[in-house]
Structure 1
Amino acid sequence: MKKSTNEFIIPFVGLKIGTHRYEFNIDKSFFEGVEDTLIEDANVLVELAFEKKETMMIAEFSISGTVATPCDRCNDPMEMSIHGDYRIVYKFGTEISEDENLIVLHPETFELDISAPIYELLVISLPARKIHPEGECNEEVMGLYNKYIVNANEPEDNDWDEDDEDWDEEDDTDEDWDDEEGEDEDDSDDDPDNDKPIDPRWSVLKNLN
């Protein structure tokens, strides 16, 4: 996250016990210096209700507005509305917190930098899939997408031989093979070119015809 300005730092040591309210206007300058940001520009109002107690502090963030972010489909900027709420509990100690909504502050801490939770709230308020409404994507990019991406995902022509389309492996049982072998054996007896010796008695009968 970028280096914060004084605008997003709350010196809570001097605050009285109770709830204190803040407002922040988020624009393009908020994202300057942020690497790999998903948001390029914004017009967002952040409302913060900061409650200070004896042993802890509770920050209730609420955002509403619009942001500019790249379209997941054509990568052109698009504007979308976002709304969201975020609650963080701050307490003092030295242990490590495994709860993302609980931040443990060193006992000597005297101020809070709220720029990071604001940015996180902006990001998690974006929808999982950010795309232009139908027909508003970059036409040139979509043309390339349809040409190279969509066609590449289409199944290739089946090289299966049409003569084998009706072949069913399950129907090709051992019994069928046995029947075919039996037929071959029977046909071999009627084959005049069979090389087996002919019984002399059959030869005599053939000559009678």
Structure 2
Amino acid sequence: MKQLKEFDIPFVGLKLGKHRFDYQIDKTFFEAFNYDEFAEATLKVNLVMDKKSNMLELSFKVDGVVNVPCDLTDEPFDQPVEGNLHLVVKFGEEYNDENEELLIIPHGEHQINVAQYIYEMIVLAVPAKRVHPGVKDGTLSSELLQKLEEFQPKEENKNNDGDTDPRWDTLKKLLTDK
């Protein structure tokens, strides 16, 4: 990952109180992290930093869309993304980012780079299973979807003469006998 200078926040010269930073995120941001799961990205990140005498409170909010392939059909679609992240930055002897909500930076630091936190917030805001909205409501038609329906197992509860399979009847008895 290369250092993204536009995400450096020099907090030493800022007055105490709230400061707002806005970022426009696109695909080149994710390329800096070698992350290529998004075909396109149009995201807006709002960051409110509350500077206090002994710590910083960072509140991130992301809103936008990323273009991703559907996990079922591989059709690209725009996935809405919304997310929040709250981070407390304190000063200590040495750098420590073990806790995901608390960052400790050395006393001599004068700026903080927030690119990694923005990246993680966005990637975690995207659902693990990405399903095209057309698959959910039945409006998407693709060859792959037709093949999936073709190979879907057909339910056959009864054999040809109308009776159920006697092997299943014996197993069903186990459920009712207690």
Q: Same fold (TM over 0.5)?
A: yes
Whose relative contact order is higher, 1 or 2, with alpha carbons under 8 Å and at least 6 apart?
2
Contact 1:76 1:137 in 2 (8 A): no
Q: Distance in 1 between matches of 2:170 and 2:15?
A: 83
Moved segments of 4+, more than 6 Å: 166-169
More helix by share: 1
Please name the residue that 1:193 is paired with.
none
Q: Tell me, in whole angstroms, the C-alpha distance in 2 between the residues paired with 1:86 and 1:5.
A: 19
Structure 2: which 5+ residue stretches go unaligned?
157-164, 172-178
Using the alignment, how far apart are the partners of 2:10 and 2:28 within structure 1? 23
Give the alignment's TM-score, normalised by structure 1.
Answer: 0.64
In terms of fraction of residues, the more strand-rich structure is 2
Looking at structure 1, the residues matched to 114 and 8 of structure 2 have their Cα atoms a distance apart, in angstroms, of 6
Query: Counterpart of 1:53 in structure 2: which amino acid?
Result: K
Q: Which amino acid in the other structure matches residue 59 of structure 1? A: L
Deviation at 1:16, TM superposition (A): 1.9
78 and 168 in structure 1: CA distance in 2 versus 1, 3 angstrom threshold: closer
- 1:141-160 equivalent positions in 2, closer than 5 A: 141-146=144-149, 150=152
Distance in 1 (CA, whole Å) between partners of 2:54 and 2:72 is 48
Partner of 1:27: 26
CA RMSD of aligned residues (A): 3.2
| Corresponding position of 1:106 | 106
Structure whose CA Rg is larger: 1
1:187-202 correspondence runs (5 A): none
The aligned counterpart of 1:139 is 142
CA distance in 2, matches of 1:77, 1:115: 26
Range with bigger deviation, 39-48 or 95-104:
95-104
Q: What percentage of aligned pairs have identical amino acids?
A: 33
Say whether the 8 Å CA contact 2:20–2:46 is kept in structure 1: yes
Deviation digits for residues 105-149 of structure 1, max 9, x if unmatched?
A: 12232211111111111122223431012446571332444456x
Paired AA for residue 140 in structure 1? E
Paired position in structure 1 for 2:54: 55
Mapped to 2, the partners of 1:144 and 1:72 lie a distance apart of 15
CA offset digits 1:13-54 (Å, max 9, x no partner): 222222111111111221114334443321111111111111
Cα distance, 1:77 vs structure 2 = 1.9
TM-score under structure 2 normalisation? Answer: 0.73
Partner of 1:92: 91
